[in-house]
Structure 1
Amino acid sequence: MQLTQTLHSAADTRPDHLATVDGDRRKSWAELRERIARLAGALQALGVEAGDRVAILALNTDRYTEYMFAVWWAGGAVVPMNTRWSAAENVYSLNDSQTTILFVDRHFAAMIGDIRDQAETVSTIIHLEEEDVPEGMLSFEQLIADHDPCPDACRSGEDLAGLFYTGGTTGFPKGVMVPQRALWYNNIALAGMAGFTSDSVYQHTAPMFHMADIACGGAVMMAGGTHIYVPSFEPVSILSAIEANQVTHVLLVPTMLGMMLQHPEFDVTKLRSMTHYLYGASPMPEGLLRHAMALLPEVKFAQAYGQTEMAPLVSILNSVDHVLEGEKAKQIRSAGRPAWGCEVKIIDEQGKPVPRGTVGEIAARSPGNMLGYWKQQKQTASTLVDGWVHTGDGAYQDKDGFLYIVDRMKDMIVSGGENVFSAEVESAISTHPDVAAVAVVGIPSEQWGESVHAIVIPKDNTTPDAQSIISHCKDQIAGYKCPRSIDFRNEPFPLSGAGKVLKRELRAPYWEGQERSVN
């Protein structure tokens, strides 16, 4: 299970086939492999050894794919950084991972000063652009031109493929250790279940640091299809790129799809080449799904459910299960059935399986399992139990094996496809000088699925306002993690016998009248 095998296979069998398209840049599979081998040679010359971490902070680009495979070819492990994080969060992940080399594009130049000053182990910064390479950085293209190809390190199996940082229950991001084996499994499972072939043309629309896009990009590599890149989501440019490149496969989180369909310049004829639409990261509102399926009757819709700890695939609601009428119509409210090679069980608080139809926590195991959390033995032990990943999602499974997610066992909010751990937001708010206590919960949002909501108890003789607290947060955490609304109260929070804040009681009024406690 060696990730670079997919590259070798495509380059050996389809050397002249189009591999990547980024604006005017077009590379065949043979050209792509040559560039990756040379970049890997440059990384080894810079000192990269087996297991060393190499990070990237960039928008979507063909060079992102070249970076990932060059790191694996050289023997290292990737650290894709969240482009929406603050400088402080990115510095934390660089220091925590002990990253030595950072790739960066021009969009994040403003952060480089803080990174240089505070990232203790970063010794080399590589600029992804062809021109205007800032002083003190190395040129991506020059490194490829100046170095000979090196032998493939052939890392595989349990070797670390990357650290993928996600929100933490302790208030700090945690690095999920994903082995080569896990990504390799996800590549082949998703390629088979989502209809990727050598003729597929996949557009990188979701952020490339996100595990959902990494899985789809890996499926394209496995099939030997074609990658199309757009820097970031913007409805008009996405539509134009799909039409111009005759894209067949697209991944959009539901909020992106809604924004595209509602845009005044939306034109369904630009999507005539599409054969497959994948969605995930957050559930699809049923009304939006029905509208999209009516607009695109020839497109096969599929939903994937997973999490970073599974790299990420747990289950898939396949196109054949997207039924809008009759007895099976209820299945579109589910997260599908377990993916190929993935076992799922619903367990109670003691870890014992519950009967079908009973709500419990989803536990899953597959070749996609993580190795654990980087330098977090306690969190690893509580999440990875006897080979099963405890997902923290509350659900039931029907007699046909479909999963229906109804709650979250852990204190997490999913807003616009991004995971937000309440502890991170509470930690930021708690440093406001007028805040005595705070609890953060997810509340329903028509646009984002869930939105971050804070409940604040002010300090005596103070009257903080919502905007001052939100502005305070933006200096410390990413904008999407900041509360979108705040309520103030004077009475103490409800507590459990162990003294913990009863979040479910705080959330309950906002979810009253809904059949489940998550969107």
Structure 2
Amino acid sequence: MRITQALRRAVQTQAHTRATLCGDREQNWETLEARVARLAAGLRALGVTEGDRVGILALNSDRYLEVIYAVAWAGAVANPVNIRLAPGEIAYTLEDSGARVLFVDATFAPMLPALRAAAPSLAHVVYTDDAGLPESCHAYEALIAEHARIADAEVGGDAIAGLFYTGGTTGKPKGVMLSHDNLMFNTLNGLPALDYDASAVYLHAAPMFHLADMSNTHCVTVVGGTHAIIPRFDVEALLAMIARAGVTHTTLVPTMINLLLQSGGLALHDLSSLRRMLYGASPMPEALLLRAMEALPNTRFTQGYGQTEAAPIISFLPPEWHYAGSPKLTSAGRPAYGVEAVIKDERGAEVARGTVGEICARGNNVMQGYWKRPEQTADTLRDGWLHTGDLGFMDEDGFIFVVDRVKDMIITGGENVFSVEVEGALYQHPAVQEAAVIGVPCAQWGERVHAVVVLKSGAEASAEEIQQHCRGLIAGYKVPHSVAFRAEPLPVSGAGKVLKTELREAHQTA
């Protein structure tokens, strides 16, 4: 399978229907494909060949969509950059991937001098906005206008389509290699679960770099629906676009849903078109979900559980289980049709129903591995199974319940935060003797990052000083939301490992 076959099918079946709506720009599928083919020609003119990596660092737009398909049309590999990373982390992902070309918009163009210095592999930068062309950048529209369309390279199958960087326990993001088959197989898993057809109008409100949103991108394209796009999540912009475009589907993380409910704007807009809400990427408090269902009674809710390494869907909780008193409401649902999921113990054996173990999955959606990290790949893909690092159990009906994470990963606002990375930043503060980072429940963000710090003898530091120190080293969403100081050493096991379970219990009772 190929990513571009979704685009070509849309043109074949829905050539003259609306493909994108973004600001005051609107185009049909025939026009979109022509622009993609010409942009791919522009990439080839810049020296991009099959397998080369191309980065995109931008807010949501119709041009973001064009870049994703143009990179595939040229036979290259996309690196959709996490816009929430710190500049140093962004530079690392570009250099680690070996990106030759970077598409950037006005929001992130000020980073270019630092990015170019830190990522010498970058040979060209394409500026995606119309005004304020930075020095030594190619103009996006000129790159399309100056080149005739080329034929689809028809690269697909096991060839890598994208590198999607996710957090790493070493403190450095690692690139998840997803093939064309991985992404398109995930698309086929999503179509029946999310009720997509040619009438679908999907709103890109979550960031388009994130697979929670991008998994819907190919679903909408393959059926020839419409991509309605706002630059970033904003309650008023979201509500206005739903009413304007007749949006039928969207994806929001729990944090966004909470902000939407708190806004008071639901009653001010016509939301009658919204028939499906996909949520996931972080824990959804049951009380919040119930409030959302009550506030949007004509919208059918679906939970998607997965991770980047699974492209990303492992299981769905469909609408029929979304009701007050549902015995499955707190579950992650059942495995998607093309995914096999089991719960395993530490020896790799499947456990009995109702027994907690590690959630493992396999299917054609599972990644090829981590870019240039064979040891971590071998540790995650064992015996043909993706080991998710999540603890959970499966009930007698095949529903998966996630209860904890094997690794100390924190999910805050839909983004993954690894405690080791935050601890590495804390330990760089001259006053810090010991530090441990845990996730604690938070009504707004699902979880918040909480740091427990032991200061050096005679040293002084405030929580605000610790937080400001971290902001210079890691992305803002990774900075501890709260800091607790303790006089005694951190509790450790016989092997010398910090007992984070005790810290969590102490926080719960504090």
TM interval, short-chain normalised: over 0.9
- Once residues 244 and 187 of structure 2 are traced to their aligned partners in structure 1, the CA distance between those partners, rounded to angstroms, is 26
- Structure 1 residue identity aligned to 2:244: A
Match of 1:476 in 2: 473
Match of 2:148 in 1: 148
Q: Is the 8 A contact 2:81 2:90 kept in 1?
A: yes
Match of 1:411 in 2: 408
Match of 2:453 in 1: 456
Match of 1:335 in 2: 332
- Per-residue deviation at 1:269? 4.3
TM-score normalised to structure 2 length: 0.98
| Counterpart secondary structure, 1:324 | coil
Q: Is the 8 A contact 2:391 2:406 kept in 1?
A: yes
Deviates more, 1:214-223 or 1:58-67: 214-223
- Per-residue deviation at 1:498? 2.7
Residues 36-90 of structure 1: CA deviation (Å, up to 9, x unaligned): 0000001011111111110010000000110000000101100011111111110
Match of 2:317 in 1: 317
Q: Is the 8 A contact 1:176 1:309 kept in 2?
A: yes
Match of 2:101 in 1: 101
- Structure 2 residue identity aligned to 1:113: P
| Counterpart secondary structure, 1:333 | coil
Residues 251-278 of structure 1: CA deviation (Å, up to 9, x unaligned): 1111101101111333264211111111
Deviates more, 1:127-136 or 1:355-364: 127-136
- Structure 2 residue identity aligned to 1:72: A
Q: Is the 8 A contact 1:169 1:411 kept in 2?
A: no
- Per-residue deviation at 1:152? 0.9
Q: Is the 8 A contact 2:52 2:99 kept in 1?
A: yes
- Answering whether residue 400 of structure 2 is matched by residue 397 of structure 1, we say no
Residues 376-408 of structure 1: CA deviation (Å, up to 9, x unaligned): 111111111122111111101100011111111
Match of 1:190 in 2: 190
Match of 1:78 in 2: 78
Match of 2:491 in 1: 494
Match of 1:286 in 2: 286
| Counterpart secondary structure, 1:220 | helix
Q: Is the 8 A contact 2:272 2:298 kept in 1?
A: no
- Answering whether residue 326 of structure 2 is matched by residue 350 of structure 1, we say no
Q: Is the 8 A contact 2:87 2:115 kept in 1?
A: yes
Q: Is the 8 A contact 1:191 1:222 kept in 2?
A: no
- Once residues 124 and 192 of structure 1 are traced to their aligned partners in structure 2, the CA distance between those partners, rounded to angstroms, is 40
- Once residues 23 and 446 of structure 1 are traced to their aligned partners in structure 2, the CA distance between those partners, rounded to angstroms, is 32
Match of 2:368 among 356, 366, 371: 371
- Once residues 155 and 109 of structure 2 are traced to their aligned partners in structure 1, the CA distance between those partners, rounded to angstroms, is 32
- Per-residue deviation at 1:490? 2.8
- Structure 2 residue identity aligned to 1:295: A
Match of 1:20 in 2: 20
- Per-residue deviation at 1:506? 1.7
Instruction: Give me the identity figure in percent.
Output: 49
- Per-residue deviation at 1:493? 2.0
Residues 174-227 of structure 1: CA deviation (Å, up to 9, x unaligned): 111111111001111111211111110000000001110000111101211000
| Counterpart secondary structure, 1:335 | coil
| Counterpart secondary structure, 2:397 | coil
- Structure 1 residue identity aligned to 2:332: A
- Per-residue deviation at 1:447? 1.1
Residues 97-120 of structure 1: CA deviation (Å, up to 9, x unaligned): 111100000001221121122112
| TM-align CA RMSD | 1.2
- Per-residue deviation at 1:137? 0.4
- Structure 2 residue identity aligned to 1:347: K
- Once residues 209 and 375 of structure 2 are traced to their aligned partners in structure 1, the CA distance between those partners, rounded to angstroms, is 26
Aligned length: 510
- Per-residue deviation at 1:151? 1.5
| Counterpart secondary structure, 1:483 | coil
- Structure 1 residue identity aligned to 2:447: E
- Once residues 171 and 295 of structure 2 are traced to their aligned partners in structure 1, the CA distance between those partners, rounded to angstroms, is 42
| Counterpart secondary structure, 1:34 | helix
- Structure 2 residue identity aligned to 1:34: A
Q: Is the 8 A contact 2:249 2:277 kept in 1?
A: yes
Gaps of 5+ in 1: 514-519
Match of 1:121 in 2: 121
- Once residues 345 and 148 of structure 1 are traced to their aligned partners in structure 2, the CA distance between those partners, rounded to angstroms, is 50
Gaps of 5+ in 2: none
| Counterpart secondary structure, 1:162 | strand
- Once residues 471 and 99 of structure 1 are traced to their aligned partners in structure 2, the CA distance between those partners, rounded to angstroms, is 31
Where do residues 62-77 of structure 1 align in structure 2 (5 Å cutoff)?
62-77=62-77
- Structure 1 residue identity aligned to 2:350: P
Match of 1:517 in 2: none
| Counterpart secondary structure, 1:493 | coil
